[in-house]
Copies of this chain bind each other. A is one copy, B any other.
Amino acid sequence: MTAEIIAIGTELLLGDILNTNAQYLSRQLADMGISVYYQSVVGDNVDRLKETLKNAMNRTSIIITTGGLGPTTDDLSKETIAKLLDLPLVEHEESRDRIIDFFKNRNIDMAENNLKQAYIPKGAIVLKNDNGTAPGFIVNTKKNTIVVLPGPPSEMKPMFESEVKKELKKLNEGVILSRTVKLCGIGESTVAKILQDVIDKQTNPTIAPYAKDGEVHLRITAKTDNETEAVNLIDDMQQKVDEYVGDYIYTTDEKTLEETLVSTLKDKNLTLSVAESCTGGMLSGRIINCSGVSEVYKEGLITYSNEAKMKYLGVKEETLAKHGAVSEETAREMVEGLISKCKTDTAISVTGIAGPTGGTAQKPVGLVYIGVHYNGTTTVKKCNFYGNRQKVRTRAVVEGLIMLWNLVK
């Protein structure tokens, strides 16, 4: 069973809004075992919409459109679809009554053109809209199932949940399941090389690596007749992955790296403090985005200036003079200063040159020292990151999370 999602609206083509509907529907369909082969976006233009619909009807069986069901003259999804399928538009009484009530209940005068929304292609299954005025509908032809939904996510999503899912389930045979195995501390190409054999031989389940800001995610997807079998297939594949790159796996559920670190620290009853120079709060900011982090995260010091490094962390003036603020020695004194000042079980320090200025031949932009402390031992790592200021800082944050997680896991 294959599908195409078509979003209709010139505002998408102008970049005014983000096509979040496509992501939502893709995920929903994947979970139902329907393979989305294409997503398309087209403007409120009859000819181009017609062409896009024809294309989709030729290449996939299920088509879901969003948008273009409003009351104004530039909303023409319904009219175009009806014409293409050679179906007349007929008034749907229940929808008409719902529209009139919608305005009455809100004490708003209804514009006459709103009643245009009650017209539906003859023979279509009408999808009622509990959150707006435009009903959706489904037309089944010999070859295709065409699902037409309103554009606003607040109307589209509840309609999909309550009305569309059950109709699509009638069409579907089998189950599709996905699981993401998340790795850190290893590059995408290295993972791909190590798993080359597994990747080359993949049929069902499939496996695909994705790189993501210093992490690699492996997506395992199985298609079968029933859920138990799908889980077994995925478990088998995960076991293979585990044999090859198990040391780098930090989670096999939907957790982020920082959530994994925070829950490990919480499980082991360990507290954390953080000192940041070039990342300037980003590392703490990410850790504190984990709800319930207060048991773990105690204090954070943003010691951007040399004075602050001395004042709060006790970094020695001679260390800064001799080795510089961006040095192994400073990173070490920062993290050890944290431990003695904050009395936490673990600590992370970051000092580096994020650029674009401040780099030299000896200490180029991207040079970052990261210190971690756990169980009486301090480790400092020298990193050379690439990219603009924001990217260098993001990579430093991820590296700090990875280093501590590797120590405490």
Contacts and interface: CB of A to CB of B under 8 A. Distances in A.
Interface of A: 10-20, 22-30, 35-45, 48, 51-52, 55, 59, 70-74, 102, 105-114, 130-132, 152, 154, 158, 178, 180, 187-190, 192-193, 196, 199-200, 208-211, 213, 219, 221, 274, 276, 278-289, 291-294, 297-305, 307-308, 311-312, 355-357, 364, 366, 382-391, 393-394
Interface centre among A15, A19, A304, by most chain B C-beta atoms within 10 angstroms, is A15
A386 B72 contact: no
A294 B305 contact: yes
Contacts of A105: 364, 366, 384, 386
Given A16-B208, A17-B23, A18-B23, A298 B304 contact: yes
A6 to B, nearest CB: 10
12 contacts: A14-B36, A14-B208, A18-B20, A22-B41, A37-B45, A40-B41, A71-B188, A278-B288, A279-B288, A280-B285, A280-B287, A299-B302
Contacts of A37: 13, 42-43, 45, 48
Nearest to A101: B386
A123 B220 CA distance: 38
Contact of A74 (B208, B221, B298): B208
Contacts of A55: 55
Contacts of A187: 108, 111
A113 B15 contact: no
A295 to B, nearest CB: 10
Given A14-B27, A23-B18, A188 B72 contact: yes
B300 A210 contact: no
Contacts of A73: 192, 196, 199-200
A218 B290 CA distance: 34
Given A285-B281, A287-B280, A299-B308, A190 B39 contact: no
A298 to B, nearest CB: 6
A281 B308 contact: no
A23 to B, nearest CB: 5
A189 B106 CA distance: 15
A39 B286 CA distance: 33
A228 to B, nearest CB: 22
A390 B364 CA distance: 33
A39 B23 contact: no
A274 B302 CA distance: 9
A209 B14 CA distance: 12
A10 B37 CA distance: 9
A298 B301 CA distance: 11
A152 B211 contact: yes
B38 A41 contact: yes
A382 B108 CA distance: 12
B113 A193 contact: yes
A114 B189 contact: yes
Contacts of A71: 188-189, 192
A152 B303 CA distance: 31
Contact of A280 (B27, B178, B221, B297): B297
